[in-house]
Amino acid sequence: MTAVLELDDIQHILLTRTPAMTGRYEFLTFDTPEGGRAWLSALLDKTQSAQDAATTMDESDRWVTLAFTWTGLRALGVPEESLATFPDAFREGMVSRAAILGDTGANAPEHWSGGLAGDDVHAIAILFSRNDERCARSIVEHDELLARTPGVRSLSHLDLNANPPFNYAHDHFGFRDRLSQPVMKGSGEEPTPGSGEPLEPGEFILGYPDENGPVTNLPQPEALSRNGSFMAYRRLAEHVAVFRDYLRENAETPEGEELLAAKFMGRWRSGAPLVLAPDADDPELGADPMRNNDFGYEESDPFGYACPLGSHARRLNPRDTAHYMNRRRMIRRGATYGPALPDGAPDDGVERGIAAFIICADLVRQFEFAQNVWINDETFHELGNEHDPICGTQDGTRDFTVPKRPIRTVHRGIPSFTTLTGGAYFFLPGIGALRHLTSLGM
């Protein structure tokens, strides 16, 4: 029997993708528990549930999400006996897990910006807005809240913006985004062809059965954990000029540049998958949600002649070539930041990239597995000296193989096309749990 989702108690980001074009991530420090709880109390009525967001989507122009690190829960006054029931990975934090995640070299926490490598990252307010005018008002309102609330302050922030063309989501490299997401039972959403069957909600939301049945050892008390989830925040700077230069230097024609870019990603920039469009881009296919995700690898492309075995899309979603895929799925939310680099322009020294949240019920089994085994493991498909070419750890010594008959092409010593510049593990409470947190100390 399918569990009934308590949509009025689940923060909207877990189940809805809003039409936000801009926004801000505000990272907070609580100097006193009272200050943190006062800040949270003031934002409670602005933090939408999945039910609220769905029913008011057309008229709403701003959406608020609140989440906390383990040290942030402690700073709010959560008792030690409750804090001890949270999973080890969350308690240790992303910085302490850097070696496991491959966050080394240029990606190491000591190079992160915004103070995100410190223990005083306590909370995040995700302030999404439909347009620039609403975003400006949201920022002013939040700044005013901080100014009148002693004991809480902004550690840093990241301003977000969509980039042209605005008719579909894409990253700074130009690749269509938001193409492959899991669907959970009870959400009311129907999966598109190729997305797999709906999964048990416990894969993503605490307090429900997962694919293996009822889940035990949840954080206590239940009032704190129910309808919550965990989020891995990753801020990736995209080195657009480096990517463009590499394509130009390693392809003989503009068409060859586009094909090489697609080989790195596993899809054309339009979103069309290489498995279904191996020789030329098909923008109509890329824009069609009923077709652009409807493929597998095991029978259609087992050796990677269409989509290389080590491409970004194939590593992050191996589909029918991986075991226990239903136990590895994750929900991804996020946005781009920084101005677009015009075509043909040299590097301008301005940081731009993607700042995303990977949402799951088990950080180790889902997020850390993907990061360690799929993205940065040399034994992935027995490729050897390779990591994910887009978001894997690169130090200039890694390769990327493009299978081809009769002779494959091996790109040796590929540069880093992205660099991790910040990250953190957050707990995303349910609406009732947010109220529970405001009542601590009473």
- Give the integer Cα–Cα distance in Å for 340 and 156: 22
* Cβ contact 167:350 at 8 Å: no
372: left (phi over 0), alpha (psi -120 to 50) or beta: alpha
* DSSP count for the chain of H helices, then E strands: 14, 10
- Give the integer Cα–Cα distance in Å for 91 and 343: 44
Residue 442: predicted pLDDT = 67
Residue 178: predicted pLDDT = 75
- Give the integer Cα–Cα distance in Å for 219 and 186: 23
Q: Profile the chain (442 residues) by mean pLDDT over runs of 10 residues.
A: 86 94 97 98 97 95 98 98 98 97 97 96 97 97 98 98 84 88 90 91 97 94 97 98 97 95 97 97 95 95 96 94 91 95 94 97 97 90 92 95 93 97 98 97 72
Residue 362: predicted pLDDT = 98
* Cβ contact 379:309 at 8 Å: no
Residue 96: predicted pLDDT = 98
Place of tokens 């040299």: 346
Residue 37: predicted pLDDT = 98
Residue 125: predicted pLDDT = 98
Residue 188: predicted pLDDT = 86
Q: Find the angle CA(40)-CA(46)-CA(48) to the nearest 5 degrees.
A: 110
Please write the tens of the pLDDT for every residue from 362-402: 999 999 999 999 999 888 888 889 999 999 999 999 999 99
Q: Domain spans of the chain?
A: 7-235+424-438
Residue 352: predicted pLDDT = 98
The model's pTM is 0.96
Buried (b) or exposed (e) across 202-220, using 16+ Cβ within 10 A? Answer: bbbbbbbbbeeeebeebbe
Residue 351: predicted pLDDT = 97
Residue 422 pairs in a beta bridge with 235
